[in-house]
Amino acid sequence: MSRSYYKTSQKGSDFIALANYKLFRAEIRKQMDLRDWKYKDLAKASGYSVAAIEGFMGGYRVNDRVAGAIAKALDIPAYMAT
């Protein structure tokens, strides 16, 4: 798999497969649809800005902390966020 499919985490040494985040983002969208939430609702519930949520959902800012906060806000199992 080419390096373009991976992004380093904040620790710099751990690699996170972006494919896992695609599945996680799909679950986020599903849970948001069930709640009729917009990004602003998720931002408020997670404690992050709308811009941070948009960046995460667009795949531009893959971040374990944001993922964890989103998982907690939407009651998604934590293992899906990693």
Q: Which DSSP state fits 8?
A: E
Question: Tens digits of per-residue pLDDT, 12-71?
Answer: 434 555 668 888 999 999 999 999 999 999 999 999 999 999 999 998 887 889 999 999
Q: Are 25 and 59 in contact (CB under 8 A)?
A: yes
CA 64 to chain centroid: 8
Residue 3 forms part of a structural domain: no
- How many domains, the chain? 1
Q: Buried (b) or exposed (e) across 42-63, using 16+ Cβ within 10 A?
A: bbebbebeeebbebbbeeeebb
pTM for the whole thing?
0.76
Residue 8 forms part of a structural domain: no
CATH number, domain with residue 72: 1.10.260
Residue 6 forms part of a structural domain: no
Domain membership of residue 48 as a residue range: 15-81
